[in-house]
Structure formats: C-alpha cells, structure tokens
Amino acid sequence: MENKKIDDKLYSVKFCPDFETHLKPDMNACKACKSKVCTIICPASVYEWVATKNELVVKYENCLECGACRIACEKKKLEWKYPKGNKGATFKNG
Ligand code: SF4
C-alpha cells in the first residue's frame, strides 16, 4: 500500500463553501476556555485564536467535516451541523 502524506490526501478533497458558517461556537465560552483545544485538534486548521482581539476566527470554508472539534470542545458550546445541500467537502478516492 502506498504511504501518502496528508497534503497529498487533502489534494483529493474538493470544497464548495456555503455563504454562511455551519460551525457556530459560543464566543463567550471560547473566551473563558483555557485549552482552546479546537485550535489544536482540527486537521484543517479551521480555528485560530487571535489573542490581540480576544476572539476565535473560524475558517469554516476549510472544514473537512470530521467532527473532532464537536467532540473535543471542553465547554460543549459549539453548534455543529453539516453544510447545507451539496455544500462543504467532497472526498474522492485516489
Ligand atoms: Fe476541523 Fe473537523 Fe471541526 Fe471541521 S469538523 S472544523 S475539520 S475539527
């Protein structure tokens, strides 16, 4: 079996972003969160904590829909749903 790197695998993912986010963290909970685990666990680097603005930036367009952030959120204050219709990520074999 061929051993591919993550960048090679992500090359086979197509994105069709929606106009609105499907990831809605409760920003007040994010400010109180000590671990900011979403910024670590997400394989697509969707979440970035901007300390100078005291805010979480969510680049939902890059989401792989793996669900890791939903499980990991220590405050359980992330509203998570799949993108609508044919929006979001599409995975191909190869
Ligand atoms: Fe990142 Fe997965 Fe959460 Fe999408 S579902 S934001 S890829 S951890």
Cα 68 to ligand 1 centroid, rounded to whole Å: 6
73 lines ligand 1 (CB under 6 A): no
What is the spatial distance between Cα 36 and Cα 43, in angstroms, rounded to a whole number?
A: 14
Spatial distance between the Cα atoms of 37 and 1, rounded to a whole number of angstroms: 33
Per-residue pLDDT of the chain (94 residues; tens, 9 = 90+): 566 676 666 778 899 999 999 999 999 999 999 999 999 999 999 999 999 999 999 999 999 999 999 999 999 999 999 999 999 999 887 5
